[in-house]
Every structure is written in structure tokens, then in C-alpha cells.
Structure 1
Amino acid sequence: MSRKVVALGIVAALSGAAALAVIWQFGANPGEAAAIAQGRQLYAANCASCHGANLEGQPDWKRPLPSRRMPAPPHDASGHTWHHPDEVLFRITKEGPAAVVGGGYESDMQGFGEVLSDEEIGAVLAFIKSTWPERERAYQAEMSQREKEKTKEKTQ
């Protein structure tokens, strides 16, 4: 049985950040062409209308809209997506920004947990990460590893 078949079975039994870790461990990392291709398609269908076809975000994304909500940020290297660890990116995508920011934060972004599977969210994130320059990918990977270690320490 292939590692991917095993991984898909495990993913079906897991949710949230645990599923994301399994997905990336078993092949859907930013360097894998199939996951990136799937992520590119899912991004185009679900994310590009707000975040831009080229991951450029909405104009003036750092200034509130008249609704007092923030515009969709870019997901390319000019934005701040790469400043967040994997677990945060996954949770924002699955549950919406308010789940991470808290405090009554309002956003035009819905959570995609009822639209995309955990594996599909992982593929979208793999696609986004694949577009970043090496410096940003390395920084984000290091931050993700530090967060994993902190979480592990807290549970011991």
C-alpha cells in the first residue's frame, strides 16, 4: 500500500492541525507538483476572487474598508501570510480569521471548513507557499517548527 493511500486514510480520521501535519508529512508539501496543482485549482475557485488571481490581495489591504473590515491581504511575498506558522494558516483557512484573532474580530472571510476538506486546505496552502521566494519559505518553515516544539512542550 502506498504512503499516500495510508496518509489519506489517516487524514480521514483526523482533523485540524493534526491532519495538516499528516498531509504535509506524507507528500503534500510545497515541493510536490500534484498537491501544488490541486492547490492552484482550489485557490482559483475559492480564494482568488478576494485574494487575487496572482495572490496580490485587495488594493490598500492595510487600510480598513468603509465597513471597517480589513481588505483581503496578499498571499505573495509582499503580504504577511508567510509570517504565520502552519497551524495558524490552517486554522484561519478552516475556521476564518476570527477564530485566531478573537475579540469580536469581523472579517469578510468565511471559514472554509465546510467547503474544503483538510487535505484540500493543505493543498491550497502548499500552492501559496510554493510561490514564495526561498527566504520567506525558510522563515515560515522555521517559525512553524518552533510553534510545533512549543505545542509539544505544553502537552508534556
Structure 2
Amino acid sequence: MKKLALIIGMGAALAGAVYLAFGGTTAEVGRIMLQPTDGQTVALGQDVYATNCASCHGADLEGAPNWRSPDADGRMPAPPHDANGHTWHHDGDTLFRLTKYGVAAYIGDPDYASNMPIYDGLLLDAEIIAVISYIKSTWPQEIRDRHDEMENTQ
């Protein structure tokens, strides 16, 4: 009887962890609230971006050349995060989960190969949110407004 209770408890804990990690929200922060108008958050995000993201996504968020076509290794190059890219087509929760847990986890395909690092354990949640907030702060107002509308309908 004790063994059965232990197995059920462990199963429930595992199911809860999977839901929190890949469900609609994150366990650490709930619904992601970007802060593109908060100076401190944006400054932190800019610093973290420069250290961790710019080498692939570009110092000016311009992305890798030919980012829409696979590289020689068959992997997609880093997309731009400026207004020319597709980052603003995704809500904050999606961007957070992609960054923290990786593309393979997000799409549910453990075999998906990506050059994008998984930042879980490398960056704090607040740093990931700051990076995404910094990126959003650079978009033209029209795109920020469209992103806000999308976020508000979630």
C-alpha cells in the first residue's frame, strides 16, 4: 500500500512539473508581463542580450544572414528580433518558454535540432523577461501596440 501511494505521489508530482514547465504559464512567474517602458528592466535586458544573445541574433537585433533558410547543418539561423523579424508575432509567454526551455520542448519534438541554447539554469526568469522587454522596447510604436493587443486577448 505504501509503495502504491509513493508511485501515485511521484506520478502526480511529475505531471505537475510537466504542466508547469510547458503549460500555459510558468511556475516561477505566472503569466509573463513584459515591461518595455521600465527603464531598469530594459537596461538589464539590453546588458543580458549583449552578453547572451547578440552573438547570434546581432548587436542590433538584425538576426543572422539568410535566417529564413536552413544552414549547411540543416538548422535555422537566428532570426531577427527587430521589426523585420517575427518575434513580435508571439506573445510574451511563448517567447519566455522558447527562451527558457528551448524550441524542441516548446514544439513537443525532442529530436528537433536547434542552435538556440536552453537558458533554463543559465539565466534567471527576471533576466529572460528583461531581454524580451528590451527587444519589445526597440519596436516601432505601431508594432508594440499590435503586440499589446495580442497580449490583451490572451
Q: Answer yes or no: same fold by TM over 0.5.
A: yes
Q: Does 1:115 align with 2:122?
A: yes
**Matched-pair contact (CA < 8 Å) for 2:67–2:79:** yes
Alpha-carbon shift at residue 117 of structure 1 (Å):
0.6
Summarize deviations over 1:91-118 as a string: whole Å, max 9, x none: 0010111122233322100111111111
The structure where helix makes up a greater share of residues is: 1
Summarize deviations over 1:63-90 as a string: whole Å, max 9, x none: 0001111000000000000000111000
- Tell me the TM-score normalized by structure 1: 0.77
**Matched-pair contact (CA < 8 Å) for 2:28–2:125:** no
- 1:35 corresponding residue in structure 2: 41
- Tell me the TM-score normalized by structure 2: 0.78
Measured on the aligned residues, the alpha-carbon RMSD in Å equals 1.8
* Structure 1 segments of 4+ aligned residues over 6 angstroms from their partners: none
Stretches of structure 1 that go unaligned for 5 or more consecutive residues are 1-14, 148-156
Stretches of structure 2 that go unaligned for 5 or more consecutive residues are 1-24
Alpha-carbon shift at residue 20 of structure 1 (Å):
5.9
Aligned mate of 1:141, from 135, 139, 148: 148
Aligned length in residues: 129
SS at match of 1:49: helix
- 1:51 corresponding residue in structure 2: 57
Identity of aligned residues (%): 48
Larger Rg: 2
